[in-house]
Amino acid sequence: MSTLVVDVGGTKLRSEYEGIYEEYLSKDKELIPFLEDKLNRYKSIDTVKVSFAGQVNQGTILSSPNIKIKEKNIKEYFEKKYGIVFKIDNDLNCALLAESKIIPEKNIALLFVGSGVGSAVLENGSIIRGEKNIACEIGHIPFKKAPFLCGCGKDNCIEIFSGGAGLEKWFEYYKIEWMSLDKMKSSKDKTVKQLYENFKEGVLRAAATLTTLFNPKIMVLGGGIVKSNPFILDIIKNELEKYALKESLKELEIVISDIKNASLEGAKLL
């Protein structure tokens, strides 16, 4: 019998089954039909493990700002229909599972900047989950008012300014052609400059909030935007002291994740 592992992010859906890795754009591949196709095709799958970029509690998807999904009671649906074991958790919690396997620390904060802005925190060896497994949703703490809504329904989240999906909305709003963060950084255009500054400040606030609230020993940065713009590490290292409590910065180490796909690796550990 075998396990199918899937990581559903805001931009990409990745899967691994018997050593075969597949990658799709999330907008082209919906999770439910993808899983049903695999389960119908490979009868030896007896376990499905999913890392999901949304709020998930006990096998139920509570919300997913950047992903469309029809079946919310996903665990029950697949276990009843296919007689398999189904495990699912938030993608950042999965990533934290993978990181904590290789980082020998008990207090770890993860900050991932990709389509959205997410975090997860290991406090004295345990993942902070809260009442409904939705603690540490750093991307949705208030930052500034925007002229459109975040995927969560509010109009002032950090994620609107510092997440990839949010940046795309800004480009659309100002009718600016999409450009990479690197290009934004050196642009002379006033609007683009402002968007870049907002992006940077949002990331710094997210990093500082995690630092001041949870006093981690190590902060691990990841996500598509960080991985393709490693200069974000220097920004945080150099400017965090303007935003975070000084004492909490003394022992803090800040690194970029070494794991190629921490959420997918972490899902295997569910």
Report in angstroms how near the CB of residue 154 gets to Zn ion at its nearest.
5
Q: Binding to Zn ion by residue 205, rule CB under 5 A?
A: no
Q: Which of left, alpha, beta for 12 (phi over 0: left; psi -120 to 50: alpha)?
A: beta
Main-chain phi, psi angles of 122, to 5 degrees:
-100, 120
| Cβ nearer to Zn ion, comparing 55 with 215 | 55
How many C-alpha atoms does 210 have within 13 Å on its Cβ side? 35
| Surface-to-core class of residue 180, CB atoms within 10 Å of its CB (0-12 exposed, 13-18 middle, 19+ buried) | exposed
| Cβ nearer to Zn ion, comparing 109 with 150 | 150
Main-chain phi, psi angles of 219, to 5 degrees:
-115, 125
Report in angstroms how near the CB of residue 160 gets to Zn ion at its nearest.
7
| Cβ nearer to Zn ion, comparing 140 with 200 | 140
| Cβ nearer to Zn ion, comparing 154 with 237 | 154
Size of the site for Zn ion (CB under 5 A): 5
Report in angstroms how near the CB of residue 136 gets to Zn ion at its nearest.
14
Report in angstroms how near the CB of residue 116 gets to Zn ion at its nearest.
8
Q: Which residues, 125 to 144, sit near Zn ion by CB under 5 A?
A: 140
Task: Compute the residue count for the chain.
Answer: 270
Interface pattern 141-160 for Zn ion (x via CB under 5 A): ---------x-x-x--x---
Which ranges in 3-43 belong to alpha helices (H)?
31-41
Report in angstroms how near the CB of residue 156 gets to Zn ion at its nearest.
8
| Cβ nearer to Zn ion, comparing 17 with 161 | 161
| Cβ nearer to Zn ion, comparing 5 with 53 | 53
Q: Which residue, among 33, 2, 37, 32, has the nearest Cα to 20 in the 3D structure?
A: 2
In the numeric block, the tokens 């997860």 are attached to: 120
Q: Which residues, 79 to 108, sit near Zn ion by CB under 5 A?
A: none
Q: How far apart are the first and last CA of the chain?
A: 17
Q: Output the furthest CA–CA distance in the chain (Å, rounded).
A: 58
Q: Which residues, 240 to 269, sit near Zn ion by CB under 5 A?
A: none
Tell me the residue type at 142.
P
Structure tokens that stand for 20 in this block: 């075969």
Q: Which residues, 173 to 202, sit near Zn ion by CB under 5 A?
A: none
Report in angstroms how near the CB of residue 31 gets to Zn ion at its nearest.
21
Q: Which residues bind Zn ion (CB under 5 A)?
A: 140, 150, 152, 154, 157
